[in-house]
A and B are shown apart, each in its own frame.
Chain A
Amino acid sequence: MSDSPSVTAVRQRSARRRLGLLYVGLIVLGLVAPFVAYPVFLMKILCFALFASAFNLLLGFAGLLSFGHAAFLATGAYITGFLLSTYPGLTPELGILAGTLGSVVLGLVFGILAIRRQGIYFAMITLALSQMMFFFFIQAPFTGGEDGLHGVPRGKLFGLFSLQSNLALYYFVFAVFVLGFALIQRTVHSPFGQVLKAIRENEPRAVSLGYDTDTYKLVAFVISAGLAGLAGATKTLVFQLASLGDAHWHMSGEVILMTLLGGVGTLLGPLVGSSLVIGLQHQLSQSPLGDWVSVILGTIFVLCVLSFRSGIIGELQKLVKRNFK
């Protein structure tokens, strides 16, 4: 049975209102959270949530599985870390901007190469390119090689507000996250985002409708890479270090897991997934199971793929649809 247009419109409007309320609730939660939990832990979650959201823009909304997003995280982290430690006069927001731009440029190069192939080849190419960057970061003079960069100064935001205290930095990181998330939300719901979804569902049909799908995929790739770089750059400010771990292929795998666990193609999924994975890693590292983190993550991976492919948010959405329609 189909609803009349007015009923649909009312339903859409109320759905939008509910979503708006949800976002307001989340922002309030984000604002009070540092008084309840340890700010550095929360900042780590926010950085990875942004990283996973950026990744999800590609996998969830354009259907492109990148296995090399660690390269963008690391590029943002290294450039920001290097600039802030070498030029003490540089303000943190400019350092982060530079790191993000670096990832945008790298994303453009990777994207031009990788979108020449589809599906499984796309995943292998991005993985290989990011491994190449890993070797580059080991040898490059500005990354500190195996040691990484330590003691990156947090500096003063706009040269005015000190970010030394964790609480001050938390609100800055939170603002960065909200901006990044808003950009993704805007992209997904824009006409551009609709074309991306069309490409995800059926690329030949999108081509036959006259869309230059390669350009759309490339732009999505660059946005995603840039936001991943932003996440890495912000993370450098939080932990005051940048290391090879960011560039390792395990990191590319972790961000896939966060997205998969939370729900591929849902806006809130990556947020939930990254909170869970970071929380789990944090708990495990303090327990006797600490050495088994990668085995446990691998097991969650297998279970998710076998029987939980919609992820937490995806399953919740199904549940709501089934019971409240």
Chain B
Amino acid sequence: MTTIFGIPLMVLFGQLLLGLINGAFYALLSLGLAVIFGLLKVINFAHGAQYMLGAFAALLGLEYLELDYWLALLIVPLVVGALGILIERFLLRRIQHIDHLYGLLLTFGLALIFEGTLVNLFGVSGSSYPVPEVLAGGFNLGFMFLPTYRAWVLVAALVVCLFTWFMIESTRLGAYLRAGTENPKLMQAFGVNVPLLVTLTYGFGVALAAFAGVLAAPIYPVSPTMGSSLLIVVFAVVVIGGMGSILGAILTGLAMGLIEGLTKVFYPEAANTVIFLVMIVVLLLRPTGLFGKEA
């Protein structure tokens, strides 16, 4: 069998694929964080919990409502996004005029509530969500085996990321969003309904997290704590990439997934910490982040 640095190629490619999939989730989640941060200036600490809610909604939908995977992929982000809209409208809006660190604390409290409630209802051990039949099986690429569902996750995540990027960079709504990020007061003066824009933006960011959650349900164990540990890694990814650029967030997410995959092959003990180590190096060399603009 072909090997590279004493590692069989099959293993290497397998881990790289896993890394890329993880990276797709980092990209989706950091994208949502960046969109929300851009307009609200709040770091959404409940992002991980909302991702977890997405996965759980898909699982419970299947169990009790016979909601199939494809419908879940459509409906769950809408439902969880609507929850996000309520959170923005009734909680975050009340503190938007004060120090934005309070937004972080508020969403942290919400994350504790969501996570704690689901732990009580369903326990900490995860359940599994069946892979939809159409996407079961896989291809033999000759140098490695590619499960169809994983390929689908990668494609779907990339399409959603690029679609979001296109929306923000090239549509009128996206232009409003970018303008609102620069100067919300001026936007308001021009007659744009900024509060509505803020609400919808938060809802959209939360819906992205829930979409990622549904996408993740068939490959990761669905448990109440699945989001929080992931979110802290995503924070590191955001610090590495800087939140100034949407494309930057996507690229950083994917790259960090790959680096994590490589580390699993060559030095597995550091696989959990490598992204934090990259963050330290970036902070030392380029404190504003790779794609960051502000000082």
- Interface set of A (CB-CB < 8 Å, partner B): 65, 113, 116-117, 119-121, 123-125, 127-129, 131-132, 135-136, 139, 249, 253, 256, 260, 291-295, 297-302, 305-306, 309
Decide if A121 touches B239 in the complex (CB within 8 Å). yes
The answer to whether A123 and B232 touch (CB under 8 A), given A128-B276, A129-B276, A302-B109, is: no
Give the contacting residue for A125; candidates B37, B95, B111, B283; CB below 8 A.
B283
- Pair B116/A295 contact, Cβ less than 8 Å: yes
Q: Which of A113, A120, A139, A299 contacts B113 (CB 8 A)?
A: A299
Mind listing 5 A-B residue pairs with CB under 8 Å? A123-B43, A124-B238, A291-B119, A297-B112, A306-B106
Which has the most chain A C-beta neighbours within 10 Å: B101, B120, B239, B272? B101
Chain B, residue nearest A302 (CB): B109
Residues of the A chain whose Cβ atoms lie less than 8 Å from the Cβ of B37: 120
Asked if A256 and B105 sit within 8 Å, CB to CB, the answer is: yes
B228 touches A113 (CB 8 A): no
Cβ-based interface call for B273 (8 A): yes
**What's the nearest-Cβ distance from chain A to residue B98, in Å?**
8
User: How distant is A217 from chain B, measured CB to nearest CB, in Å?
Assistant: 14
- The contact of A260 among B105, B111, B112, B238, by CB within 8 Å, is B105
Residues B287 and A302 in contact, CB atoms below 8 Å apart: no
Chain B residues positioned under 8 Å from A292 (CB to CB) = 116, 120
B269 neighbours in A (Cβ, 8 Å)? 139
Most buried by A among B95, B98, B273, B288: B273
In the complex, the 5 A-B pairs of residues with the closest C-beta atoms, listed nearest first: A301-B109, A298-B112, A294-B116, A295-B116, A132-B276
Q: 18 other contacts beyond A298-B111, A301-B105, A305-B95, with CB at 8 A cut-off? A: A117-B239, A117-B287, A120-B43, A124-B238, A124-B239, A128-B235, A128-B279, A129-B280, A131-B232, A132-B273, A253-B108, A292-B120, A294-B115, A301-B108, A301-B109, A302-B106, A305-B106, A306-B95
Residues of B contacting A: mostly:
helix
Question: Are A128 and B232 touching (Cβ within 8 A)?
Answer: yes
Known contacts A113-B283, A295-B120; A125 and B101 CB within 8 A of each other: no
Contact indicator A113/B284 (Cβ below 8 Å): yes
CA distance A309 to B94 in the complex (A): 13
Interface residues of B in 263-295 (CB under 8 A from A): 269, 272-273, 276-277, 279-280, 283-284, 287-288
Residues on B with beta carbons closer than 8 Å to the beta carbon of A132: 273, 276-277
- Residues in B whose Cβ lies below 8 Å from that of A302: 91, 106, 109-110, 113
Q: B109 touching A120 by the CB < 8 A rule?
A: no
A116 shortest CB reach to chain B, Å: 4
For A256, give the chain B residue with the smallest CB separation: B105
In the bound complex, CA of A117 to CA of B289 (Å): 10
- Counting CB contacts under 8 A, is B178 at the interface? no
Given A128-B239, A299-B113, residue A119 in contact with residue B101 (CB < 8 A):
yes
Candidate in A119, A120, A256 with the most chain B CB atoms within 10 angstroms: A120
> Among the listed B105, B109, B280, which residue makes an inter-chain contact with A113, where contact means beta carbons less than 8 Å apart?
B280
- Complex: A105 Cα to B66 Cα, angstroms: 55
| Min CB–CB distance A74 → chain B (angstroms) | 15
Considering only CB atoms, which chain A residue lies closest to B41 in the complex? A120
Which of B76-125 touch A at CB < 8 Å?
91, 94-95, 98, 100-102, 104-106, 108-113, 115-117, 119-120
Interchain CB contact under 8 A, B117 and A65? no
Contact present for A306 and B112 (CB under 8 Å): no
Confirm or deny: B16 has a beta carbon within 8 angstroms of a beta carbon on chain A. no
Q: List residues of chain B with CB within 8 A of the CB of A124.
A: 43, 235-236, 238-239
A125 nearest CB across to chain B (Å): 6
Beta-carbon contact of B106 and A249 below 8 Å: no
Output the least CB separation between B54 and chain A (Å).
19
- Is the Cβ of B116 less than 8 Å from the Cβ of A298? yes
Given contact pairs A297-B112, A298-B112, A301-B112, A123 touches B236 in the complex (Cβ within 8 A):
no
Q: Which residue of chain B is the closest to A132 with respect to CB atoms?
A: B276
Contact between A295 and B117 (Cβ–Cβ < 8 Å)? yes
| A291 interface neighbour in B120, B229, B232, B284, Cβ under 8 Å | B120
Cβ–Cβ < 8 Å partners of B98 in chain A: 309
Residues 30-48 of B, flagged 1 when their CB comes within 8 A of A and 0 if not, give: 0000000100011100000
Is A120's CB under 8 angstroms from B101's CB?
yes
State which of B108, B117, B276 has its C-beta within 8 Å of the C-beta of A131. B276
Q: Which residues of A contact B102 (CB under 8 A)?
A: 305, 309
